Structures are given as structure tokens and as C-alpha cells.
Amino acid sequence: MKFETVRGLHIPKVGFGTWSIGGQSSPDPKLDSVSRTALRSALELGYTHFDTAEYYADGHAEELLGQEIREMGIRREDLFLTTKVSPEHLHPDDVLRACDRSLRRLGVDFVDLYLIHWPNPRIKLGESFRALNRLVREGKVRHLGVSNFKLKMLKESVALSETPLLTNQIPYSLPEKTYVENGVIAYCQQNDILVTAYSPVKFRNLNVNATLKSIAAAHGATSYQVALAWLIAQPRVITIPMSFDPAHQKENLEAMNLELSASELGQLSNLYSR
């Protein structure tokens, strides 16, 4: 397994996202069985970084993840758990309450990483960080980060966080270069802030693109693996793909073993240039 080492932490280059576990914006009990099976197979395959949020299935994704960790007897110290506070809960007291609810649902005393899920222009960022910094001091949160933050607010967050900001979680993939173009990714790489790429293989022509297929065939890999390998070849970039299918989960993990040449990386970087 490959890791990104930052600020003394060793975080897997490929983690497991939990959007759609247990439902989407609200719980869907019909998905409980398939969701728990997906979480169980991910844990059995060796995933150790799990990314969730209070918004995912209105907290039910956190509940299911916590249940599966407990039932499988996974040691807390063997996992890196990330969750997120929703933008409507960014007033200081709401942040504190939201974190306590997430901890209860996950069944843990602390999370390794706590993110602001989306910025909220109606709430001053300084107010939110007053509570977030308190959570770190109290030991309920080990590290702080943000998600979907553009450069101005990212820099403001860096200044407001009493501990080094660990990540900005953003949409990033071969065709999705918004945060390359707006300077966020370069800023993160220059300032020891992880880029956590979500939706890394969610684009329409992934399986039919000729360049992707050719590079994949040369390595005995899949186009999905090539797309992931391109991401994690970059410094300070990790990713959190999600799949209900154990075979795809395994393929995603094995993408870490795929070594692309400089020429292949260049081809891929230019593949969707505008």
C-alpha cells in the first residue's frame, strides 16, 4: 500500500468514500444490507481510511460504518476516520453538537479528520473555526480540513486553524480540472496540504477512451485503475473512490501498484485539455 506522508501522518493514497452508503440525502433502509456488505468487504480487503459525513444518508452512513467496525472487531488505532460537518451547522454551538452526534453514530471517542463539508457564506469562517479549534483541543478531533474550498477561503482557513490544516477535499479527475485552473491544487502542494480527490473516476467516457484503454492494456490494468494511478502519482494527492462491488474495491486498491511512465502521465494530463 502506498501512503502520502504529511505532518507525521501516513495516509493511504487510496481510501474508501461512503457517499450512497445507507442512502443519499436521507436514510434508505432497503440499502442497509448491501451497504454493510460493501463496508465489510472494504475492511476485509485492507482499506483503512474511510471518509464519511453527517450529510450522507442523514448520518446513517456514519452509523453503518461504526456498526461494521465494531462487529468486525477492527481496532480503532488501525483506522483513519474522516467525517464532515454540514454547512448549515457552522455556527459554533452547532459545530460542537454536530461533532458529538457524529462521534456517537460512529461509536468512537475521536475522529482523525473533521472537515467543513461546504463553505457557508452566511456564517463567518472565524466563528466556525473557533469551535473546530476547540474540538481539537478537547481531543474529539485530531486534524482539521475543508472541502470544496476555493483559494481565498482556503487561505483564510489556513490562517484561522490553530493546527496545520490537513486537507482540502475537492472534485478532481482526468477531465475535472477546476481546482487546477483556480490555483488550489498548486497551493496545497506548495503548503503541505493534502488534496483529497473525490469523484475520481466518475466521468462518462472512461471505459471507451482510446488512450486510457491503450495505457490500461499495456499494464494489464483497467481504465479505472489508470485514472486512479494518474491521480495518486501526484504529490500530496490522495483519493477516495467508492464501490459496492468487492471486485471493484479490490481493483481500486490495486491501482496503487500501477507505475505509469512519465510519458504516460503526460499523455493523461493532456487528455482532456480545453
3-state DSSP call for residue 28? Answer: coil
In one-letter notation, the amino acid at residue 108 is V
Q: How many CA atoms lie within 13 A of 146 on its CB side?
A: 27
Residue spans of alpha helices (H) in the chain: 32-45, 60-72, 92-106, 125-138, 151-160, 178-181, 184-190, 210-219, 223-232, 246-254, 262-269
For β-strands 237-239 and 194-198, DSSP reports them as parallel
For β-strands 9-12 and 3-6, DSSP reports them as antiparallel
Among residues 224, 234, 217, which one has the least CA distance to residue 201?
224
**Cα-Cα-Cα-Cα dihedral of 133, 135, 136, 138, to 10°?**
120
Catalytically annotated residue among 56, 114, 179, 224: 56
Catalytic (active site) residue 198: no
DSSP for 198-265 reads ESTT--TTTTT-HHHHHHHHHHT--HHHHHHHHHHTSTTEEE----S-HHHHHHHHHGGG----HHHH
So which residues are the catalytic ones? 56
